[in-house]
A and B are shown apart, each in its own frame.
Chain A
Amino acid sequence: MNEHKMNEQNRDIELIDRFLQDRLSNKEEQDYRERLQRDEGFKKLHEEQKLVKEGIIYMKRQELKTQLNAIESEIEQQETASSWTYYRSIAAGILLLLTGVAVIYLYLSYNNSSGLYENYFNPPETIDKVRSRGGDNSGAAIEAYNNGNFEKAEQEFKKTIDGQFDYRLIYYQGITKMRLGKFDNAELLFNQILEGNNNYHANTRWFLALTYIKLDREDEAIPLLQKITSSDSQYKNEALNLLRELKA
Chain B
Amino acid sequence: MTKQEILNRLKEGSNEVLSVVYKQYREEFINWSVSTYSLDSDDAKDIYQTTIIIFYENILMKKLTSLNSSIKTYLFAIGKNKIREKLRESGKVFPSNDVLNEAFIYEEETVDTEKEHLYDTFRLCLDKLGDPCKSVLISFYYKNFTMQEIAQVFNYKNEATAKNSKYKCLQRLKDCVFAKTGTAQQ
Contact = CB atoms under 8 A, between A and B. Distances in A.
Q: Do A and B assemble together? A: yes
Nearest to A212: B16
Most A C-beta atoms less than 10 A away, residue of B16, B109, B163: B16
A52 B141 contact: yes
Interface in B119-148: 119, 121-123, 126, 137-138, 140-142, 144
Given A10-B167, A219-B19, A54 B119 contact: yes
B45 interface: yes
A52 B174 contact: yes
A55 B117 CA distance: 10
Interface stretch (B49-57, B69-77, B89-97, B149-157): B49-57
B118 A51 contact: yes
Chain A's interface size range is: 20 to 34
B122 A71 contact: no
A71 B45 contact: no
Nearest to B16: A219
Chain B's interface size range is: 35 or more
A219 B9 CA distance: 14
B170 interface: yes
B49 A57 contact: no
Contact of A56 (B15, B56, B121, B137): B137
Nearest to A63: B123
Interface stretch (B20-28, B32-40, B80-88): B20-28
Contact of A68 (B49, B57, B163): B49
Given A52-B170, A59-B126, A65 B119 contact: no
A4 to B, nearest CB: 15
A13 B123 CA distance: 21
Interface of A, helix, strand, loop or mixed by DSSP:
helix
B153 to A, nearest CB: 15
B162 to A, nearest CB: 12
A219 B20 contact: yes
Contacts of A17: 140-141
Contacts of A56: 122, 126, 137-138, 141-142
B101 interface: no
A248 B186 CA distance: 56
Contacts of B185: 48
B6 interface: no
Contacts of B137: 52, 56
Contacts of A51: 118
A59 B119 contact: yes
Interface of A: 9-10, 13-14, 17, 21, 41, 44-45, 48, 51-62, 64-65, 67-69, 71-72, 75, 219-220, 222-223
16 contacts: A17-B140, A48-B174, A52-B137, A54-B119, A55-B121, A55-B122, A56-B122, A56-B138, A56-B141, A59-B119, A59-B123, A64-B53, A68-B22, A68-B49, A75-B23, A223-B16
